[in-house]
Every structure is written in C-alpha cells, then in structure tokens.
Chain A
Amino acid sequence: MSNKLNLKLTNSTGTRLIERIILPLEKISKEVVFDCRMCGQCMLQVTGLTCPMRCPKNLRNGPCGGVRPDGNCEVYPDKPCVWVQGIERAARLPVWRGRIRELQPPVDWQLKDTSSWINWFSGRDAVYPPGWTVED
C-alpha cells in the first residue's frame, strides 16, 4: 500500500508528509492558545477549551478532592485548578455544555506527541481498550 493512503499512525513524529506539515501547526497554535500538552487525543471541547493534561494528576474526569478552598491546585498552590476553570468555562460555552459529565476513557499514551487533528480525522483517538467498550 502506498504511504499516501496509509492512515495508520506511528509514534515517531514526522514520518509521513501530512504529519510533518500538520503536527508543527497544531503544536504551535495549541500550545500558545491552550498551553496544550500534545496528548494526541484532544478533549478541549469537553472541558470548556481548558487542557486537562495541565492537571498534575492528568485527570480526565473532573477535579480531585484536593482543590484548595480558593479554587487553586493541590499541587501548585499559586495556580488555579484547571478543572475548576474547565467547569466554569464549559458552562459558559454555547455548545458541548453537557459533555463534561461524560465518562472519559483512560489516556492512550501511544498517542502522546502525535497530532490529535490527524487522530480525530482517522478515528484513531476513538479507539478504546476492548474491555472499556464492552459495557456501553
């Protein structure tokens, strides 16, 4: 099969032309705007456009019980909890508002540092562990 049609992703960056072009674009724009951590399975639409990978515990399903009374992070007392921000922002967003209540699957660390745009387009970011999808 020619490389052009092969949508299967590899871990290394820049192995395919399309990735060599899109990855830097995605990385630069999302790092500047969202302080994105390039997990490769973007859920900004769920979290009111707040990157949950900035949470030191990498939580994908809401804030932990250690949030300080002032709304700041358990680990970094000077920084606001990303999930407190996410919940506020999601409520203000005109779309996707209820999605913050959905149970999110575990992170697929194989996708780290790959392009979430390509992964979304190819459907790779919706490939969950087989056991996870048994119940739903």
Chain B
Amino acid sequence: MERVLRSGQFAVTAELNPPDSVDPRDLYEAALVLAGVVDAINTIDSSGANVHMSSLGTSALLIRAGYDVVMQISCRDRNRIALQADLLAASALGVKNVLCITGDDVSAGDQPEAKRVFDFDSMHLLRTARIMRDQGVFLNGRTISVPPRFLLGAVENPFAPPLHWRADRLAKKVDAGADFIQTQYVFDIEVFREFMSRVRDLGLTDRVYILAGVGPLKSPNAAEFMRARIPGVVIPDSLIERMKKTPREHWRKEGIEICIEIIQKVQELEGIAGIHVMAFREEETVAEIIHRVGLYPRSTSAQNPTQSFSEEEVPC
C-alpha cells in the first residue's frame, strides 16, 4: 500500500468485517473476494462497539495469507499501556499500516453497559505511534531496541459539525503524525468538495494521502438506518428519495450505481490519493464496484494471497 501511495497511483482499500468464528477459513473466504481488487484490507477494531475478532488477530491471519492490511486500532477499549503493547505486537506480526482512531462510543454498540476507556484520543495515539517509530522509544522514554515501522493513518469525517473546522482537525492529525487519511462515507459530494478545497488551501495534500470513504446503499431502509444509527454518517435526503423511488428488485443495482457516480466525482477532485470502500459483510459488492469503476486489476502484488492454508498450518 505504501508503494502504491508513494508512486502516485490511485489506491484502493476496503473494509473486511470478520465473521464471528474462530475458524480462520471463514475469514479467508471473505478476504479472497477482495484479493486482487484492493491494495490493502482494513481490519476493523470492533467498529460500532460491536464485538468481533480483534483487528490484531485478523491482521495477523491475513498477513500470514499474503495480504497487506491496514490495522485499525481504537482508543475505546484500551489504555495507553495496552495500545503501545499492541502496536509493538502488530509490527512484530508484520503489520505495516496502522489506522489510529478514537472509536465509536460503547453506547453505539450491542453492549452499551461496557465501561468506556478513552485514555487517549486519536491524536495522542498517532503521536505516540510516531514517537515509537521515529524516536524508537515508548511514551515514557524507554528505548525500543528494534522500533516498529508503520505507515500511520487516521480518519476524518468531513460531514460532522463544525464543518468549517474539519480541515483544521485534519491538519492537527497530520501534525500529530498521520501519513494517510481515510474519510467517513462520502455521500454529499458538495460538502466534500468544499472540505477538500480547504484542505488544499492549508497545503495538506502535499503532506498526507487522502483516501475518500465510499460505499453502496443497500435499500432505503438501510440508508435510513445508517444515517440514524451509525455515528457520523450523513446521507442527503435526495439520495434517500432516489432509493425510495427505485423498485425493490433494483435496490442493489441502484445503490451500486450511486456509489460509482460518487467515486467518479471523487476521482475528479484534486488531491485525492485513493478510495476506501466500506460495505458491511458485502465483499462481493465491493469487488463489483471496484471492477466497474475501472480500478481493476491492481498493479501491486501485496494482494496475492498464498490461497488457503493446509489444515495443519491453520492456527486454531
């Protein structure tokens, strides 16, 4: 992924929602659909505060199978000790890209009674990861004999208030250590265009790679649900109306159509380094979208998995 970004090619990443299973083959099955159409797979860290296999676990499994991953690491469930420990473990296991996020609150998930941690915010995590990488020390100054090597990522939501401050927040993340950014779902292209214009004014496109978040709408109800229940997702009424006007049997097609239109508009914007495709457990749809926008095949070899493991190699 780093190679793709640095060479100036249009990068493609996608999110993989791990099946709730300890059989690695279930994970590989889902990942195989994305093989060849993405430069790196985002492994999610119990996003939406719903329990899934940890991103450290899924990342290690996917790396063993030859994938390049972007490992999400969130501040919701771990304090600074655990975060630094996991960063070290991730690098030792071969993780090259880390996405430092604050995380959705526990109240958004399926176990809202949990205690929230939030010892760090995403900027603290970014800066700490950079200190570990560039200075070769933990936050307390203790030396790491072989420091981790990471491309550091962060997220930004151009659609959440205060809109005028979102580019400034991006600048702060770049100062804290972000090398690349993956944005929240882009559905409102006008707001995104304005955000990018401010980002360019601040000179940030020379300092950070920005991947625009995109994804298909499944149905009018799913769109309403995303807008109401997933923190930070903004979908304009016009798109919901468009989905509502579409006959039920064409929902999927129309959702993909909308997503492709958005990708094409995003590609025209100056300073966009790639896209990040998100669709909950819809890997086939993700692959179809990437095919249809002409971003296939990918030129990197990072996504050539060694296919499946033999039985004895599968860690159980």
Contacts and interface: CB of A to CB of B under 8 A. Distances in A.
Interface string A69-102: 1110011000001001001100000000000010
Interface string B134-148: 110111110000000
Given A63-B169, A103-B176, A131 B141 contact: yes
Nearest to B159: A69
Interface stretch (A31-39, A53-61, A113-121): A53-61
B175 A58 contact: no
A64 interface: yes
Nearest to B157: A65
A135 B119 contact: no
Nearest to A88: B162
B265 to A, nearest CB: 21
B115 to A, nearest CB: 12
Interface stretch (B99-107, B278-286, B299-307): B99-107
Contacts of B127: 103, 132, 135
Nearest to B121: A59
A84 B163 CA distance: 10
Nearest to A52: B121
A105 B76 CA distance: 18
A65 B171 CA distance: 15
Contact of A57 (B116, B128, B160, B232): B116
Given A61-B172, A65-B160, A66-B231, A75 B107 contact: yes
Nearest to A67: B160
B165 A62 contact: yes
Contact of B137 (A61, A70, A101, A131): A131
A88 B165 CA distance: 10
A127 interface: no
Nearest to A71: B161
A57 B119 CA distance: 8
Contacts of A103: 123, 127, 172, 175-176
* Majority-rule SS of A interface residues: loop
Contact of B118 (A58, A66, A87, A134): A58
Given A60-B121, A61-B121, A84 B105 contact: no
Contacts of A14: none
Nearest to B101: A65
Contact of A65 (B80, B123, B184): B184
Contacts of B253: none
B169 to A, nearest CB: 5
Contact of B155 (A65, A109, A134): A65
Interface in B223-244: 231-232, 234
A106 interface: yes
B161 A58 contact: no
A9 interface: no
A49 interface: no
A5 B108 CA distance: 50
Contact of B139 (A59, A75, A107, A131): A131
Contact of B121 (A57, A70, A109, A129): A57
Interface of A: 56-71, 74-75, 81, 84, 87-88, 101, 103-107, 109, 129-132, 134-135
Interface of B: 75-76, 80, 102, 104-105, 107-108, 116, 118-124, 127-128, 130-131, 134-135, 137-141, 155-157, 160-162, 165, 168-169, 171-172, 175-176, 184, 231-232, 234
12 contacts: A56-B105, A58-B121, A61-B124, A65-B102, A66-B157, A74-B231, A81-B161, A87-B165, A106-B80, A129-B140, A131-B137, A135-B135
* A-B CB proximity, top 5 nearest: A130-B141, A65-B157, A66-B231, A61-B123, A131-B139
Given A62-B169, A84-B161, 19 more contacts: A56-B105, A56-B116, A56-B118, A57-B116, A58-B118, A62-B165, A64-B231, A68-B160, A68-B161, A74-B107, A81-B161, A88-B162, A105-B124, A131-B138, A134-B135, A135-B127, A135-B130, A135-B131, A135-B134
